[in-house]
Amino acid sequence: MEAAGWRCWCTGQCGTPHRKTDGRCPRTHDGYTSKHGGWVRLIAAPADPSVPLLAAAQLGPGDLRAWCHACHTGATRAHRKTHTTTPPQADGLFDL
């Protein structure tokens, strides 16, 4: 968190370009999300959103970044959307 200046590390991985704040998410730890939002609580999560949760627990501090909840969720969704796998083709066993 200190390395990120207690500010969300996201630079657009979530799908939001963050244009008003020079390309980086403006949310800071213990700040407000908006007038109608709540508190921002940053989390330490993998810089690469494709890392599974079990593997993420074993990462070192150099592989983690400070994320706000909205950016982390958005980055994970964006990664899943672009890296979906197709189901295996049926072998004809259940064809009618």
Question: How far is 65 from 95, CA to CA, in rounded Å?
Answer: 48
Looking at residue 84, its pLDDT comes to 66
* Range of the structural domain that residue 44 is part of: 19-82
User: Does residue 88 sit within a domain?
Assistant: no
Looking at residue 13, its pLDDT comes to 93
Confidence of residue 94 (pLDDT cuts 50, 70, 90): low
Residues making up the chain, counted from first to last: 96
Q: Tell me the pTM.
A: 0.76
Per-residue pLDDT tens for 38-78?
Answer: 889 999 999 998 888 889 889 999 999 999 999 999 999 99
User: Does residue 92 sit within a domain?
Assistant: no
Name the domain count of the chain: 1
User: Does residue 5 sit within a domain?
Assistant: no
Looking at residue 41, its pLDDT comes to 93
CA 87 to chain centre: 25
